Amino acid sequence: MPFTFNPGEIPGLMIIEPRVFPDERGFFLETYKETDFTAAGIPGPFVQDNHSRSARGIVRGLHFQREPHAQGKLVRVSRGAAWDVAVDIRASSPTFGKWAAVELTEENRRMYYIPPGFAHGFLALADDTELQYKCTAEYHAAADAGIRWDDPEIAIDWPLNEVLVSDKDRCLPFFKDLM
């Protein structure tokens, strides 16, 4: 199997470590193989791919889409480094309101699977960080929602003190007001 699947701290989250094949030319790795992901309990299909670039200190999120347009995401960093965060917003979950994070870098080549029912955000830890992710549902503007990145109730331990946040993300509601 070209992937190692590690359950995350919260049920449903999964850290994926692809097998890398280096040689004198560089390296090769598979970033997605439906049969392996399905066997590990990560359902598809993935229907949209996104790619962002951010400078060091940029926070994006915490975003999600409301039902029936909720998205699962398979996230990876192809350049730079990011602190990738998922917040459980499944009201019936025993970990409702809890967060988990993983550092994704171009060197460790890890991926993070975040199922539907989670808010997602990240902090770029290096300049020109490029984050790519596959989604299980297409973007639907009317279902777009989010939670403040610095919500004291969730209390995410972001690894940088000085960050930049878009006006849109700075105005997102607090968890208690949204849920």
Ranges of each domain in the chain: 46-178
pTM: 0.92
pLDDT over 70 (residue 13):
yes
Q: Which amino acids are annotated catalytic?
A: 63, 133
* Predicted pLDDT of residue 2: 63
pLDDT over 60 (residue 142):
yes
DSSP-derived 3-state class of residue 36: helix
CATH class, range 46-178 = mainly beta
Give the Cα separation of 108 and 119 in Å (integer).
24
DSSP-derived 3-state class of residue 142: helix
